Structure 1
Amino acid sequence: MSTISKVVLGISVVLSVGTVVGVHVKQRLDRERLREGVLQDLERQSRKQENLRLLEEQIHLTKRLEAEREKILLTEGSSKF
């Protein structure tokens, strides 16, 4: 085997191994990114549920406040007559 053919074979082997390693590294990074995406979605969903719960609580408190104001206005209005 000539020196040039050995060099070409060596370069081919190095490029092949580099390609295989590169593909495996990229797959691992893609899997990690997908996993992070799922975790972010779960966190986003829990924040959304918490925000909805807070909104419902705020609506309930607003209704109570309006009812109390209405009652106070009715009481003040009836005592003026």
Structure 2
Amino acid sequence: MSTTSKVVLGVSVLLTLSTVAGVHLKQRLDQERLHQGVVRDLERLARKRENLRVLDQQRVLTQELEAQRDQREAQQNHH
């Protein structure tokens, strides 16, 4: 085999290996990015559930405070 053909073969093998390694690396990075998206979605849903829970608590407290206020006003109007 001539020197030129050896160099061409070596470069071809090197480029092929580099391409295969690059594709595998990109796939791994894509999988990690997708996984992080799922994690972010789960965190967002957890925050949303917590926010809804707090909102419900605030609604209950508001109703209780309004009821107490109405009772005080009714008592003051009777006196």
TM-score clears 0.5: yes
In 2, the alpha carbon distance for the partners of 1:34 and 1:25 equals 14
Runs of 4+ in 1 over 3 A off after TM superposition: none
TM-score, length-normalised on structure 1?
0.93
Q: What TM-score, normalized by structure 2, do the two folds share?
A: 0.96
The aligned length equals: 79
What corresponds to 2:56 in structure 1?
56
- How far residue 9 of structure 1 moved from its aligned partner, in angstroms, is 0.8
Q: Point out where structure 1 has 5 or more consecutive residues left out of the alignment.
A: none
Taking the TM superposition and a 5 Å limit, the aligned residue runs for 1:59-70 are 59-70=59-70
For the residues of structure 1 that align with 2:73 and 2:36, how far apart are their CA atoms?
54
CA distance in 1, matches of 2:43, 2:17: 39
Q: Distance in 2 between matches of 1:11 and 1:23?
A: 18
Q: Which runs of 5+ in 2 are unaligned?
A: none
Q: Does the alignment pair 1:15 with 2:15?
A: yes
Question: Alpha carbon RMSD of aligned pairs, Å?
Answer: 0.7
1:33 Cα offset (Å): 1.0
Task: Quote how far apart the aligned CAs of 1:77 are.
Answer: 1.1
